[in-house]
Amino acid sequence: PGKDKRLGIALVGLGGYSGGQLAPALQETKNCYLAGIVTGTPSKADSWSKKYNIPGKNIYNYNNFDSIADNPDIDIVYVVLPISMHKEFTIRAAQAGKHVICEKPMALNAGECAEMIAACKKANRMLSIGYRLHFEPHNIEMMRLGQKEIYGKVTSIDTGNGFTYRGDPNAWRLKKALAGGGGLMDMGVYSIQGSRYSLGKEPLFVKATEEKTNHELFREVDETVFWELEFPGGILAKGKSSYNNNWGYLKVKAEKGTFGLEPAFGYGGIRGNSPAGEMNFPQINQQAFQMDDFARCILQKKPTRVPGEEGMRDMKVIDAIYRSIASGKRERI
Ligand code: NDP
């Protein structure tokens, strides 16, 4: 389709993920394109405008953002801000009449997710979460193997995700008010997702503990968290997240064999094994597939596979993990 038939996306928050992944992916998409930007940094407005040929009328800041309602070039607002800002900008975008993609984790807690879902529903706009791995072939294979019980019933899951934080000690990721938490919010969400989509069921209870070695850097947020999710039928999923360990795997044990991915959750280089041998799927541009799929869903009026409800399910688990760390007890999700 010609450019005029593609949906226009405005990225909100021009940080690492917007600049490093989403804007480049939007050069490859077929159903949508980078039509606008929303930024609090005037120098980025200039450089992005030149680099991506974005007209001045499609450039907004956080104050005048609501006037995007009057801009027919923008169909979708993509919220790529610190987590504490997800709720506000998702709701403002919906109220401006735009469909919304919101980055993970969806919000500070499940209560905020419910407000976001309600606001989009009220505005009759679609909401999706930036869960790129739902479009990634190896992860899709995990869903198939587990949910369709290709190797029999799943009996247990083991997963971890984390990286060694070497960034700015003053960054929003380490501030509780902006990030809500640390490695669990940022990285653990992938492991929780992975457990849920490998099984196709929702966990009922969780027991969790926290470990902290660097009390200075991780003063406000969790460093390493361990949890055990209890799914229906007594199936256990062990998980861990960290800002101080390089982890990234998803392993599933089923009655007739084990299958898994490592690395499991990155932008590329994902590898997997099953009893049938090494998985042999293409590495794709996950972000391009994700955004094209959402645009197609809007154009064809079909539900997205990663709606706000999917983000909220993970937030309920995260909320319960934090409750369990605080209480020292097994908590209902
Ligand atoms: P960055 O810190 O790199 O960028 C965040 C941007 O938000 C800033 O550059 C800034 O943009 C804007 N911003 C507005 N207010 C603030 C504030 N008070 N403090 C800091 N930044 C502010 O973050 P990321 O791009 O890494 O992450 C953004 C979101 O994307 C998060 O939700 C994160 O979890 C998610 N993410 C998802 C990934 C995925 O694979 N799905 C990968 C990486 C991140 P400006 O200057 O334009 O105003």
Give the CA-trace dihedral at 104, 326, 157, 218, to 10 degrees: 60
Other C-beta atoms within 10 Å of 332: how many?
Answer: 11
Cβ–Cβ under 8 Å, residues 101 and 75:
no
Residue nearest to atom 42 of ligand 1 (CA): 17
CATH superfamily of 135-284+314-332: Dihydrodipicolinate Reductase; domain 2 (3.30.360.10)
Q: Roughly what angle, to the nearest 10 degrees, separates helices 308-327 and 189-199?
A: 120
How far apart, in Å, are the Cα atoms of 18 and each of 57, 87, 103?
Answer: 20, 18, 10
3-class DSSP assignment, residue 24: helix
Cβ–Cβ under 8 Å, residues 210 and 224:
yes
Distance 79 CA to ligand 1 centre (A): 9
* Structure tokens, 147: 């949910």
pLDDT, position 244: 98
3-class DSSP assignment, residue 153: coil
Distance 34 CA to ligand 1 centre (A): 17
Q: Which residues contact 132 (CB under 8 A, 6 or more apart)?
A: 267, 286, 287, 289, 290
CATH 3.40.50.720 domain residues, the chain: 3-129
Q: Which residues contact 138 (CB under 8 A, 6 or more apart)?
A: 261, 264, 270, 271, 272, 279, 281
pLDDT digits (tens, 9 = 90+) for 201-240: 999 999 999 999 999 999 999 999 999 999 999 999 999 9
* % of the chain beyond a pLDDT of 70: 99
> Which of 242, 266, 268, 264 lies closest to 251, judged by CA?
264
CATH 3.30.360.10 domain residues, the chain: 135-284+314-332
Distance 114 CA to ligand 1 centre (A): 22
* Residue 175, ligand 1, Cβ within 6 A: no
Distance CA(270)–CA(282), nearest Å, equals 9
Q: What does the mean pLDDT of the chain come to?
A: 97
* Structure tokens, 256: 């007739």
* Residue 14, ligand 1, Cβ within 6 A: yes
Distance 81 CA to ligand 1 centre (A): 4
The mean pLDDT value for 300-309 works out to 98
Distance 80 CA to ligand 1 centre (A): 5
Cβ–Cβ under 8 Å, residues 147 and 278:
no
Residue nearest to atom 8 of ligand 1 (CA): 15
Interface ipTM:
0.99
Token pair 């460093």 is at which residue? 223
pLDDT digits (tens, 9 = 90+) for 34-91: 999 999 999 999 999 999 999 999 999 999 999 999 999 999 999 999 999 999 999 9
* Residue 80, ligand 1, Cβ within 6 A: yes
pLDDT digits (tens, 9 = 90+) for 244-282: 999 999 999 999 999 999 999 999 999 999 999 999 999
Pick the atom of ligand 1 nearest to 19's CA: 25
CATH of domain 3-129: 3.40.50.720
State the number of CA atoms in the 13 A half-sphere of 192 facing the CB. 34
pLDDT, position 4: 57
* Residue 107, ligand 1, Cβ within 6 A: no
| Residue of 59, 172, 221 with the most ligand 1 atoms within 8 Å of its CB, for mutation | 172
Residues facing residue 150 across a β-bridge:
152
The mean pLDDT value for 181-204 works out to 98
Q: What is the pTM assigned to this prediction?
A: 0.98
Pick the atom of ligand 1 nearest to 12's CA: 47
pLDDT, position 3: 46
Distance CA(78)–CA(127), nearest Å, equals 10
Distance CA(202)–CA(196), nearest Å, equals 6
Residue 5 has pLDDT above 90, yes or no: no
Residue 176 has pLDDT above 50, yes or no: yes
Instruction: Report the helix count and the strand count for the chain, using DSSP H and E.
Output: 11, 15
Residues facing residue 154 across a β-bridge:
254
Q: Which residues does the annotation mark as catalytic?
A: 104, 190
3-class DSSP assignment, residue 255: coil
